[in-house]
Structure 1
Amino acid sequence: MKIALLGYGKMGKTIEQIALQRQHDITLKVDKDTESYVLENVDVAIDFSTPDAAVDNITNCFNHNIPVISGTTGWLEHYDDVVALCKEKNGTFLYASNFSLGVNIFFELNQKLSQLMVNLPEYDISMEEIHHTQKLDAPSGTAITLAEDILKNSKYGTWTLDAAKPKDLHINSKRIDDVPGTHEVAYKSSVDTIEIKHTAHNRDGFALGAVIAAEWIAGKKGVFSMKDVLNIG
C-alpha cells in the first residue's frame, strides 16, 4: 500500500516505522511546516495532524477520492459536516479517538460496565486521563469517547473538567512529560470502588491500529469506525 502521512510528528514517525515493517510504502509526508501538498501516488492517507488542519486534510482526501484514516482529535465539532461530505463525495472515512486495539477493547468494557451499573445510583463516577505535555487538547478524545458511553447509562447529564460541578461527570485531565496515555474510570460508593484502567506503554499500539485500519479499509466506501475493523460491538 502507498500511504500518505498527513502529520509527521511523533505519531506520524511511529506510524511510518510500523507501516514500513508491514511492507508498505510512505509516498507523502506532510508536517506542520508544509505549506501545500499534492495527493499523487497514494492509496490511503493517515491523518495525525493538528485540530486546525484535520478538516482541510480530510476534505482534500475526499476531493481526490483517497480513503482517509483520521486519528486527530480536537476538531469533532465539524464531525457531522465531514461525514456528510464523505457521503456526498462517495468517499471513504474512518475516525477513531484512539486506534490502539487494547483501548478499543477497553471501550467495550467501559460500555458494558456502565450498563451493569445503571441501576446503582449510589455509585459516583469519575474519570482520569494522563498524556504527554505536547498533547494539544484536553480532555483527550479517548476520554470523551469513554465519557459519552458512560453518560448513556448514568445519572449525569454531561461531562466536565470542572470538579466543582458534582452533577456532571468529572474528567481529571493531567499533562505529564513522556506519558503516552493513561485512562481510568472509577465507580465509588461508601462501601467499595470499582475501577477499570488502560495504560499505554508507548505509541506503537496506536500506530499499529492505524495501519491495520488502513489495510482493512482498502476497497471500501462509506464511514467506518474501529468497531468495524475489529468486528466488535
Structure 2
Amino acid sequence: MKIALLGYGRMGKTIEKIALQRGHKIIFKVDENTKEYDIKTADVAIDFSIPSAAFNNISNCLNNDVPVISGTTGWLDKYPAVTKLCNKKDGGFIYASNFSLGVNIFFELNEQLAKMMHQLEEYNISMEEIHHTKKLDAPSGTAITLANGIIKHTNKKSWNLNVTNSDSQIPIIAKRIDDVPGTHTVAYNSEVDSIEIKHTAHNRSGFALGAVIAAEWLYGKTGVFTMKDVLGLK
C-alpha cells in the first residue's frame, strides 16, 4: 500500500519503519512544517498527529476518499462529526486510543473483570497510568477507554483525574516518567484482598504494528470500525 503518515513524531517514525518492513511504501510524511500535500495519492492514511490537527487531517482524508486510521487522542469531542462525515462520504475510518494488539486484548479482559466484580460492593476500583513526559494529554486515551469499559458494566458514572475514590467515580492517577512507553493498571481493593490487571508496553513497536495491521485491514472497506473489528472480537 501507499501510506501517508499524518504526524511524524516518535510514533510516526516507528510506524514508518514497520510499514516498510511489511512491504508498504510511505509516500509522504506530514508534520507541522508541511504546507501542501495531495492526500489523494495515498491508498490509506495513518494519523498520529496532535489534537488540534487531527480533525482536519481526518476530514481531509474522508473528503478525498482516502481511508484513514487515527491514534491521536484529545480530539474526541469531534468524533461524532467524523463518523457522520465518514458515513456521508461512504469512507473508511478507524479510531483507537491504543492500536497495540495486546492492549486491545487487555480492553476485553478489563470489561470481563468489571462484569464479574460489579456486584461486589466491598471492592473499590482505581486506575493508574504511566507515560513518558512528552505525552500531551492526561489521563491517556487508553486509560479513558479502560474507565469507560468499567462504567459500562458497573454503577460508576464517570472517571476523575487524581482524586480519591467515590461511589460514582473511578479515580485515575496519571504519572509522567521519562522513557515510559505506557503502563496501565486497574485495581479492585477491599479490606481483605486486592485484584489487579496490568498491561506494560516495553516499547512503541506494539502500537505501531497494530496501527499498520489496522491500515491493512481497513484498505478496501467502507464504514466506521474499531480494533474489535480488526481483531475479530465482536
Name the structure 2 match of 1:10: 10
Report how far residue 165 of structure 1 moved. Answer: 5.8
Match of residue 61 from structure 2: 61
5+ long unaligned stretches in structure 2? none
Give the SS at the match of 1:177. coil
Q: How many residues align?
A: 233
Instruction: Name the SS for the 1:195 alignment partner.
Output: strand
Aligned to 1:95: 95
* 2:148 aligned counterpart, secondary structure: helix
Aligned equivalents of 1:185, 1:203: Cα separation in 2: 21
CA offsets per residue over residues 71-94 of structure 1, 9 Å max, x none?
Answer: 000001111111011111111100
Q: Which amino acid aligns with 2:141?
A: G
| Counterpart secondary structure, 1:93 | strand
TM-align CA RMSD: 1.0
Match of 1:206 in 2: 207
TM-score (norm 1): 0.98
CA distance in 1, matches of 2:173, 2:150: 15
Question: Quick check: 1:121–1:155 contact (8 Å CA) kept in 2?
Answer: no
Q: After TM superposition, list the pairs within 5 Å mapping 1:125-204 onto structure 2.
A: 125-164=125-164, 166-167=166-167, 168-204=169-205
Q: Is the 8 A contact 1:62 1:91 kept in 2?
A: yes
In 1, are the aligned partners of 2:162 and 2:174 still within 8 Å (CA)?
no
1:157–1:40 CA distance, 2 compared to 1 (3 A): closer
What displacement does 1:162 show? 3.6
Matched residue SS, 1:79: helix
Is the Cα contact below 8 Å between 1:132 and 1:180 reproduced in 2?
A: yes
For 2:230, give the aligned amino acid.
V
Decide which moves more: 149-158 or 169-178.
149-158
**Normalised by the size of structure 2, how large is the TM-score?**
0.97
2:35 is the counterpart of 1:32: no
Quick one: which amino acid aligns to residue 67 of structure 2?
A: P
Structure-2 residue corresponding to 1:232: 233
1:5 match: secondary structure: strand
Write the distance in 2 (CA, Å) between the matches of 1:44 and 1:211.
10
2-structure distance, mates of 1:114, 1:230: 21
| 2:59 match: secondary structure | helix
Runs of 4+ in 1 over 3 A off after TM superposition: none
- Looking at structure 2, the residues matched to 37 and 11 of structure 1 have their Cα atoms a distance apart, in angstroms, of 20
Letter in 2 for 1:174: K
**Structure 2 match to 1:82:** 82
Residue 139 of structure 1 aligns to which amino acid in structure 2?
Answer: P
Q: Using the TM superposition, give the Cα deviation of residue 164 of structure 1 relative to its aligned residue in structure 2, in angstroms.
A: 4.1
In structure 1, how many angstroms separate the alpha carbons of the residues matched to 2:84 and 2:12?
A: 27
Query: Which position in structure 2 is the counterpart of 1:19?
Result: 19
Q: Contact 1:68 / 1:94 at 8 angstroms: preserved in 2?
A: yes
**What displacement does 1:3 show?**
0.1
Query: Residue type matched to 1:103 in 2?
Result: V
Q: Quote the Cα distance in structure 1 between the aligned partners of 2:42 and 2:156.
A: 45
Deviates more, 1:145-154 or 1:32-41: 32-41
Structure 2 residue matching 1:187: 3-state secondary structure: strand
Deviations 1:60-111 (A, max 9, x none): 0011100001000000111111101111111110000000000000000000
The answer to whether the 8 A contact 2:40-2:65 is kept is no
| CA distance, structure 2, for counterparts of residue 158 and residue 40 of structure 1 | 40
